[in-house]
Chain A
């Protein structure tokens, strides 16, 4: 014996409200959706005779009863059989079957939208009359416990169309306030092609009386731009920097992108207002634009894209991908045109949105050629544009990480060596793109150790003379795994420069963590630091930690002449700690002890009248 699944309607409603719909407000969207779908269906069925199409809302208030919303359309209507089939069979939609052969005409395709009304009402009443000849008007009453009734309204003089009555539940009265209903109708239906009229206490307001500005005619381009900017201000409450018209035949998309008046980050998510066939679909919509388009906020209408089940986003298919490419190209072309023809206007955008333009230039050779030279970079000689950096024609040196830049900056700045900080996201990609776009350009990654090694190189004779000094210094610092070298560099007051490549910097942090860790984590950190010896993914140019002693510094020069290795060792230890502190490197326990012991030693020598020389 076959049985049927028992449907617990309240449970389904709870599931829908929790997982499918974003909140009770969507029931207004669903009501508008059903009304406009019905009108579209009638237009399709009676294209030669029906030229109307109006949605009317009435808010009935009273002191003695709960408010009621009535949503009426002059669309295709329902017969009694259709009421059983489409209003009370979950998952069935009147938008399937014969009429849905032109499936794209209807965006409420899933037949469960009406259930959303149970989030704010305990009864839905539908009065409808189909356009089918001979159809009687019907009344359908549905309740959230899963029961409903249908009866024919024989003899009633009702025009084709549908009226939906919702009486507020006591805990949902907020959703029936006139200002709330108006707000939601304008929010969802502002761009619908059929007028939405709202009647409250006898007063009628048309809620969508103005087409979007991109569909209007203007006397001049300046007027059009002013209208678009004002539209953007009304919709988003922001005074945007600029506006960019958008159009794509794929997806039948049109609208406008507004350039944000404030900086954004790549992590920012789209907050675009996207309409599908005039009905608001989503206020995120970031799937419609490329990921670098974080500098705009858009209002877009689409007529030929497929929504997901919740109708709050688009389905990722080839058409959406093609639409995204087209819209991205529109933004890109606009940026290129502005950069080439209106540099002052482009500079305003660049000043705010250099992150987005950087990302685009890093990925797109044409964009790179047009505006990469305008992009600002941090350098050891101050902030400057890429164009100015390139103007010398010399090899462009850059630091791959922020930490490496920070380490080499004092010396490079003093020596007037230009090094670019490419440690921030996509900056190195930009410089590598530079090399690909202009193959004759020479670029070189450099770290602090390599920089100091290249400066003030000693003669062979000097190296021989300083060999005992270097040996004593190396011996003193051996336990810290630091390579010692001697050079001459500016600034002279800098006695020593400590540098650590990323691997050495990582080991330093790991050893610091080990000082306080238990055996488990100390062992894990040992394993992490052992990567190099196990043949892991080693940076081929890794140079570890280095300390470069500066012969231009009077103290270093004097130490270099000493023949007392004990004094040299102690002094170098203090210089080592000093260089760490100057570089803002926190001291390990052993290094802290070095500082105090070294000071104690020298003070003791002085008090004892001992000669350090």
Chain B
């Protein structure tokens, strides 16, 4: 191990700590690589600790999972290393919560993952409140709202001990579960502390308000939906990976005829969405984008979009053919829905490709 090498890693970590998560991620991946090349386990641990956070919250939870697997393996081998981390079990929550985003991770592995997480929580004497919250989240991603409701009830009976999510996130979870179970009134009532500002965190209530846009619109509550849309769009500018929620906005803006605004939003996020690896996120984003662009086709023949070479067809000077773009986006959403439903063993996502009664 050279001093210069170690300093190089420390410099990367310092620089990364001052950046937003997306910008920090390549620096942290480099820091991990260098630390491993130096065979410095502790430095590799610190770099991965930061990388799990940066990657998970900027849409690369797969990279986060890889880094976490390494961390967990080394902590299992040398338990004293755990005290050099921020909070290992808190990290586990993030990893477990996002694993279901990948349809190539089989259900049996997801079940084993959450069981392992529960085992470790019990070993540490922690409340299972966080475990039930993650079970809830996974059930939602698997398209099983009734099961999510069961986990929500179990969650509420478990004590709070600091290992559980923050109050705002728990409220958001409850709103999400109730809304996806068709209990919109109860969802809105449960979400009041979020809507009036009593509870908030980095991503809440931006994600909450986004998720409620279409249900509110379907029920005729246009004014409230508009208020939610304005507020949430603004708040999402501060979220590192807003794409799933942006998808709700795109769908909503297409529904209410605000195509110009929606296309502007699409232009800002299309590149990141085309590169995104999480299937559920891709589903919602491209479902919304397809609906928006299809609705805009009657008003403009071309949509200017900075997509590099991510699309299988080329634009002309004015942009991409609107109808063709809408079709392509719909294909992406349909493809993701098919992969997710195949893994999940239901038709949850397939039923939601088209906006309608089961739109959220």
Contact = CB atoms under 8 A, between A and B. Distances in A.
A266 B18 CA distance: 10
Interface string A300-328: 00000000111001001110010010000
Instruction: Tell me which of A308, A313, A516 has the highest count of chain B C-beta atoms within 10 A of its own C-beta.
Output: A516
Given A310-B197, A403-B29, A436 B19 contact: no
B113 A524 contact: yes
Interface in A271-308: 287, 291, 308
A308 B227 CA distance: 14
B230 interface: yes
A432 B29 contact: no
Interface stretch (B248-256, B300-308, B321-329): B300-308
Interface string A511-554: 01110111011111101101100111100110000000000000
Contact of B306 (A401, A429, A514): A429
B277 interface: yes
Interface stretch (A54-62, A195-203, A337-345, A420-428): A420-428
A369 to B, nearest CB: 15
Interface in B290-335: 304, 306-309, 312, 317, 335
Contacts of B282: 537
Instruction: Tell me which of A400, A525, A585 has the highest count of chain B C-beta atoms within 10 A of its own C-beta.
Output: A525
B77 interface: yes
B71 to A, nearest CB: 9
B105 A527 contact: yes
Nearest to B21: A267
Interface stretch (B62-70, B132-140, B142-150, B174-182): B62-70
B109 A429 contact: no
Contact of B109 (A516, A517, A523, A586): A523
A506 B279 contact: no
B26 A436 contact: no
Contacts of A531: 102, 104
B65 A534 contact: no
A411 to B, nearest CB: 19
A363 B30 contact: no
B20 interface: yes
A46 interface: no
B268 interface: yes
B234 A586 contact: no
Given A436-B304, A521-B72, A513 B237 contact: no
B308 A524 contact: no
Contacts of A313: 197
Contacts of A514: 69
Contacts of B268: 363
A584 B2 CA distance: 13
B231 interface: yes
A386 to B, nearest CB: 15
Given A512-B70, A528-B66, A584-B33, A321 B309 contact: no
A104 B242 CA distance: 35
A510 interface: yes
A439 B104 contact: no
Contacts of B18: 265, 267
A516 B74 contact: yes
Contacts of A537: 276-277, 279, 282
A293 to B, nearest CB: 11
B33 A585 contact: yes
A402 B70 contact: no
Nearest to B199: A19
A518 B73 contact: yes
Nearest to B106: A527
A445 interface: yes
Contacts of B22: 425
A513 B20 contact: no
B198 interface: yes
A317 B102 contact: no
B112 interface: yes
B22 to A, nearest CB: 5
B222 interface: no
A510 B66 contact: yes
Contacts of B30: 402-403, 406, 584
Instruction: Tell me which of A428, A512, A514, A527 has the highest count of chain B C-beta atoms within 10 A of its own C-beta.
Output: A527
Contact of A586 (B33, B63, B227): B33
A36 interface: no
B339 A536 contact: yes
A510 B268 CA distance: 31
A541 B309 CA distance: 10
Contacts of B72: 517, 521
Interface in B228-268: 230-231, 234-235, 237-238, 268
Instruction: Tell me which of B22, B70, B307 has the highest count of chain A C-beta atoms within 10 A of its own C-beta.
Output: B70
Contact of B339 (A318, A435, A535, A584): A535
Contacts of A586: 33, 36-37, 39
A267 B237 CA distance: 10
A534 B197 contact: no
B196 interface: yes
Given A512-B70, A528-B65, A309 B306 contact: no
A517 B69 contact: yes
B73 A524 contact: no
Contact of B20 (A265, A520, A523, A527): A265
Given A310-B197, A525-B66, A531-B102, A518 B279 contact: no
A363 B307 CA distance: 14
B227 A317 contact: yes
A321 B231 CA distance: 9
Contact of B308 (A428, A439, A527): A428
Contacts of A287: 234
Contact of A423 (B26, B234, B317): B26
B34 interface: yes
A521 B73 contact: yes
A22 interface: no
Contact of B70 (A403, A517, A584): A517
Nearest to B267: A363
A516 B81 CA distance: 15
A449 to B, nearest CB: 16
Interface in A170-221: none
A439 B19 CA distance: 32
9 contacts: A265-B19, A291-B238, A321-B234, A403-B29, A510-B66, A516-B73, A524-B69, A528-B102, A537-B276
Top 9 nearest A-B pairs by Cβ distance?
A586-B36, A432-B306, A316-B231, A402-B26, A267-B20, A516-B73, A291-B237, A521-B69, A513-B70
Interface of B: 18-23, 26-27, 29-30, 32-34, 36-37, 39, 62-63, 65-67, 69-70, 72-74, 76-77, 99, 102-106, 109, 112-113, 116, 196-198, 227, 230-231, 234-235, 237-238, 268, 271, 276-277, 279, 282, 304, 306-309, 312, 317, 335, 339
